[in-house]
Chain A
Amino acid sequence: MSGGSYYVPATSKWPILGSLALGGMMLGAGLQMVHGWGAPLLGLGVAAILAVMALWFRDVVRESLQGLYDAQMDRSFRWGMGWFIFSEVMFFAAFFGALFYVRTFALPWLDGEGAKGVAALLWPDFTASWPLLNPPDASVSGPHEVLSPWQLPLVNTLILVTSSLTLTIAHEALKEGYRRTCRNWLAGTVFLGACFILVQGFEYYEAYAHYGLTLDAGIYGSLFFLLTGFHGMHVTVGAIILAVMLVRIQRDHFSGDDHFGFEAAAWYWHFVDVVWVGLFLFVYVF
């Protein structure tokens, strides 16, 4: 720890505006879902959140460029980002836990397996299978067919794994001081991220249009869209962060040994990549 005096950031209006914006977004979302008339407030809330984030980060970037942040502040950011990613890991862990629970316990029990066996009395004709094409009750219609892992999902896996690689090359280039090389590989990474999102969008279209695989198609559809949907949102956010980093590289914000913004973005991107590998294996393949 440094011996000098501490750096304490000045007050800021962005946090309180951010919490109001988030509250507005939630209120709008709730009104829309319950009463069907909250969409404008929802949109306004989202826009306000994006604006607040942009301005808040702009302040942080400015302070960083002014050299206000010392090594200790840098470490605080690192711990902060690290633990934030851990919280994201646990968010996805809940969804993976639900997937495993349904496959290992819930469906076999509905089919009469296990010591208790009473759940089987509800729908005696039900047969457990995964992917579940025939939900227990006739009121819920399952998908006709599910997506093959070896077509678009495999392509997307290759895209995302490659993007982690290109990002690492960009990072190495930045550390060695090759700004142009870094910029090019980073641009490639953002491009791959955008490709992933497009492919995923197309896959969703296919699922809805041709496979009957929808959000309300029983537990398979629910889990499929829950896991891939939240992952897709994270890819989108990650790609936007990387795009911001591209702009910052362009403006020469980073040096070879001081570029935590870039590193945090990279951590986040690798995390999103690892989640996808888990998804590919346990949602699509097995």
Chain B
Amino acid sequence: MASKLPKSPLEHSAGGAGAAAESPGAPPRGLLRWLLTTNHKEIGTLYLVFSLSMFFIGGIFALVVRLELFQPGLQFVEPEFFNQMTTLHGLIMVFAAVMPAFTGLANWMIPLQIGAPDMALPRLNNFSFWLLPVAFTLLLATLLMPGGGPNFGWTFYAPLSTTYAPPSTTFFILGMHLAGISSILGAINIIATILNLRAPGMRMMDMPLFVWTWLITAFLLIAVMPVLAGVITMMLLDINFGTSFFNAAGGGDPVLFQHLFWFFGHPEVYIMILPAFGIVSAIIPTFARKPLFGYASMVYATASIAILSFLVWAHHMFVVGLPLVAELFFMYTTMLIAVPTGVKVFNWITTLFQGSISFETPMLFALAFVVLFTIGGFSGLMLAIAPADFQYHDTYFVVAHFHYVLVPGAIFSIMAAVYYWLPKWTGHYPSERLGRWHFWLSVIGVNLTFFPMHFSGLAGMPRRIPDYALQFADFNLVSSLGAFLFGFSQLLFVVVIVKCVRGGEKAPAKAWEGAQDLEWSVPSPAPLHTFETPPHVTPQPHP
């Protein structure tokens, strides 16, 4: 990344000095302050805290699943409840943990990285956040309703989610609508901020990659969240108003549901990984003490991935009965995505080449991301091959694949980001010792959990099943032990964060020696209001 610090880093940070010109009116105190805040840092914190709490709720659901799968036979939960756990684990992790975490990071860091005083539409920002607790209260409340919560998997295929669904499905749909509105409005805000509030002198190609990847992610969100809204609206009508969208008896088609869902669903997985690419592209150069290799190619690769993501959705539907030409088209477009993704991995590794690397906790998570995400990418490539997918489809191999891209992929990147930016948020370094413990326990836990799933999947174990044949017992035992190790190590993450908020080694404005972006020019902790007068950024040529 080009370094674009103002000549003297502290010269322009308006935080301490220009306090007289702070925002109009005194901000409310106590609880009201958090309810009414329009400050990007406070809203960012709200998003992150919300996401972390939901991460634990979704995690408990996952542990219920792994507990039941610890050995063959039915031990702890009824199959019906098991299905609700797999479903809500997926929904909560995707929509309430990973997505809000990235939005929280965007809120905190994008204004700081582009020299903006706040998000472009601060009140809308508050609205976007507070829709989330409302949405997920509604969604979690379905567990307590007669007939139980959603039990049809996070992909909620019709007619399982319409004709054969529990009555609470209507509330699930309405909750998802609220979450969708929140995402769309949040994304609009992020785009407007990036396009309109960059510091004078910062051109698009000067932006840090986290900003670039979020710009493209926001575009994806605005393009596909409305499609999700459309498809759940059609479900709502099928359930409550007798329409026939996903009912062949009336001339509709359940496969139509899958097309619409995956037109949203595939870009959705990039929504959960592109910001991760941006984070890793910030951390690796910092700790390799070298500028990012191939900045421009990173931007183009991100854009290519986003465009291709609209042309690959039916790779989730290879066994549903598509015409041959569709199987081929979606197979080739899917494999094409490996090209820009490969560019990225190549650039990260080349950035490391001949760098003077140090291994602080954020770097550990970022490096693990590169390795383990790539494993997930390769298994994705295997799944892309239609004839092979006929074997893998709906087995634990798929579960292994997407957990590799989501857990040591998206979630590790979020953890890396938290360790990387905690000094900026709190003014203290997180404990390096505990951070390392957290990292190594997580890495071991993740691989113990998900690596054996490749084998149980290839051997034919179907996903979303509470019981299984005896030959899968060993793999499942290892997976379950790994899951509990990973799950409980996350308590350490909470300890690190709480300790860091309360105290610790003081961090200077530029907390990491090799860090280059604009956020490191404001004091640590970043004052409530930063860049009230725009800093001037001198464009510098990319290396």
Q: B-contacting residues of A (Cβ < 8 Å)? A: 1, 3-6, 8-16, 18-20, 22-23, 26-27, 29-30, 33-34, 56, 72, 75-77, 79-80, 83-84, 86-88, 90-91, 93-95, 97-98, 101-102, 105-107, 109-110, 114-116, 118-119, 122, 132, 135-137, 139-140, 215-216, 218-223, 225-226
Give chain B residues whose Cβ lies under 8 Å from the Cβ of A110: 248, 251, 253
Do residues A76 and B38 form an inter-chain contact, with CB atoms below 8 A? no
By Cβ-Cβ distance, the 3 closest A-B pairs, closest first, are A94-B230, A216-B242, A137-B249
A23-B178, A218-B244 known; A34 and B38 CB under 8 Å? no
Shortest Cβ distance from A27 into chain B, in angstroms?
A: 7
From B24, B174, B250, A10 is in contact (CB under 8 Å) with: B24
Do residues B256 and A215 form an inter-chain contact, with CB atoms below 8 A? no
Give bound CA distance, A220 to B138, whole Å.
Answer: 33
12 residue pairs of the A-B complex, CB under 8 angstroms, read A6-B533, A8-B532, A20-B134, A77-B121, A94-B226, A94-B229, A106-B252, A107-B251, A122-B248, A135-B249, A216-B241, A218-B244
Do residues A19 and B131 form an inter-chain contact, with CB atoms below 8 A? yes
Please give me the residue from chain B that is nearest to A73 by CB atom.
Answer: B120
Give chain B residues whose Cβ lies under 8 Å from the Cβ of A15: 36, 123-124, 126-127, 130
Do residues B123 and A222 form an inter-chain contact, with CB atoms below 8 A? no
B197 at interface, CB cutoff 8 A: yes
Apart from A86-B223, A90-B224, A102-B252, 17 more pairs, CB < 8 Å:
A1-B198, A1-B199, A19-B134, A26-B175, A27-B174, A83-B187, A84-B184, A97-B259, A98-B234, A101-B253, A102-B251, A115-B323, A116-B321, A137-B249, A139-B249, A222-B244, A222-B252
From B38, B198, B231, B233, A12 is in contact (CB under 8 Å) with: B38
Give chain B residues whose Cβ lies under 8 Å from the Cβ of A95: 230
Please give me the residue from chain B that is nearest to A21 by CB atom.
Answer: B134
Give bound CA distance, A221 to B512, whole Å.
Answer: 62
Do residues A218 and B251 form an inter-chain contact, with CB atoms below 8 A? yes
Do residues A22 and B245 form an inter-chain contact, with CB atoms below 8 A? no
Shortest Cβ distance from A270 into chain B, in angstroms?
A: 19
B155 at interface, CB cutoff 8 A: no
B149 at interface, CB cutoff 8 A: no
Do residues A72 and B196 form an inter-chain contact, with CB atoms below 8 A? yes
Give bound CA distance, A24 to B130, whole Å.
Answer: 13
B227 at interface, CB cutoff 8 A: yes
A5-B533, A115-B324 known; A91 and B230 CB under 8 Å? yes
Shortest Cβ distance from B526 into chain A, in angstroms?
A: 15
Give 1 or 0 for each of B499-543: 1 = CB within 8 Å of chain A CB: 000000000000000000000000000000101111000000000
Give chain B residues whose Cβ lies under 8 Å from the Cβ of A27: 138, 171, 174
From A115, A137, A222, B243 is in contact (CB under 8 Å) with: A222
Shortest Cβ distance from A145 into chain B, in angstroms?
A: 16
B342 at interface, CB cutoff 8 A: no
From B193, B224, B226, A88 is in contact (CB under 8 Å) with: B226
Give chain A residues whose Cβ lies under 8 Å from the Cβ of B198: 1
Give chain A residues whose Cβ lies under 8 Å from the Cβ of B37: 11
Please give me the residue from chain A that is nearest to B195 by CB atom.
Answer: A79
B35 at interface, CB cutoff 8 A: yes
From B130, B196, B323, A75 is in contact (CB under 8 Å) with: B196
Give chain A residues whose Cβ lies under 8 Å from the Cβ of B191: 79, 83
B351 at interface, CB cutoff 8 A: no
Shortest Cβ distance from B372 into chain A, in angstroms?
A: 33
Do residues A10 and B23 form an inter-chain contact, with CB atoms below 8 A? yes
Give bound CA distance, A115 to B322, whole Å.
Answer: 9
Give bound CA distance, A107 to B217, whole Å.
Answer: 36
Give chain B residues whose Cβ lies under 8 Å from the Cβ of A13: 35-36
Do residues B222 and A90 form an inter-chain contact, with CB atoms below 8 A? yes
Do residues A10 and B25 form an inter-chain contact, with CB atoms below 8 A? yes
B260 at interface, CB cutoff 8 A: yes
Do residues A219 and B250 form an inter-chain contact, with CB atoms below 8 A? yes
Give chain A residues whose Cβ lies under 8 Å from the Cβ of B268: none
Give chain B residues whose Cβ lies under 8 Å from the Cβ of A136: 248-251
A115-B323, A216-B242 known; A94 and B192 CB under 8 Å? no
Give bound CA distance, A50 to B41, whole Å.
Answer: 29
A13-B36, A16-B35, A114-B323 known; A23 and B222 CB under 8 Å? no
Do residues A83 and B192 form an inter-chain contact, with CB atoms below 8 A? yes
Please give me the residue from chain B that is nearest to A117 by CB atom.
Answer: B321
From A18, A105, A135, B244 is in contact (CB under 8 Å) with: A135
Do residues B256 and A106 form an inter-chain contact, with CB atoms below 8 A? yes
Give chain A residues whose Cβ lies under 8 Å from the Cβ of B122: 8-9
For B121, B122, B230, B533, which residue has the most chain A Cβ atoms within 10 angstroms?
A: B230
Do residues A219 and B251 form an inter-chain contact, with CB atoms below 8 A? yes
A91-B229, A91-B230, A115-B323 known; A80 and B28 CB under 8 Å? no
Do residues B256 and A101 form an inter-chain contact, with CB atoms below 8 A? yes
Give 1 or 0 for each of B23-45: 1 = CB within 8 Å of chain A CB: 11101100000011110000000
Give chain A residues whose Cβ lies under 8 Å from the Cβ of B134: 19-20, 22-23, 26
A80-B124, A135-B251 known; A226 and B234 CB under 8 Å? yes
From A14, A20, A222, B250 is in contact (CB under 8 Å) with: A222
Do residues B127 and A216 form an inter-chain contact, with CB atoms below 8 A? no
Give bound CA distance, A77 to B123, whole Å.
Answer: 12
B117 at interface, CB cutoff 8 A: yes
Do residues A1 and B121 form an inter-chain contact, with CB atoms below 8 A? no
Give bound CA distance, A226 to B138, whole Å.
Answer: 25
From A14, A33, A56, A220, B251 is in contact (CB under 8 Å) with: A220
Do residues A26 and B251 form an inter-chain contact, with CB atoms below 8 A? no
Shortest Cβ distance from B167 into chain A, in angstroms?
A: 5
Shortest Cβ distance from B134 into chain A, in angstroms?
A: 4
Shortest Cβ distance from B12 into chain A, in angstroms?
A: 12
Give chain B residues whose Cβ lies under 8 Å from the Cβ of A222: 237, 243-245, 250, 252
Do residues B248 and A16 form an inter-chain contact, with CB atoms below 8 A? no
Do residues A79 and B531 form an inter-chain contact, with CB atoms below 8 A? no
From B23, B28, B200, B237, A1 is in contact (CB under 8 Å) with: B200
B84 at interface, CB cutoff 8 A: no
B105 at interface, CB cutoff 8 A: no
Give bound CA distance, A42 to B333, whole Å.
Answer: 45
Do residues A6 and B116 form an inter-chain contact, with CB atoms below 8 A? yes
Give bound CA distance, A135 to B245, whole Å.
Answer: 12
B170 at interface, CB cutoff 8 A: yes
B118 at interface, CB cutoff 8 A: yes
For B167, B222, B243, which residue has the most chain A Cβ atoms within 10 angstroms?
A: B243
Shortest Cβ distance from B390 into chain A, in angstroms?
A: 15
Shortest Cβ distance from B90 into chain A, in angstroms?
A: 21
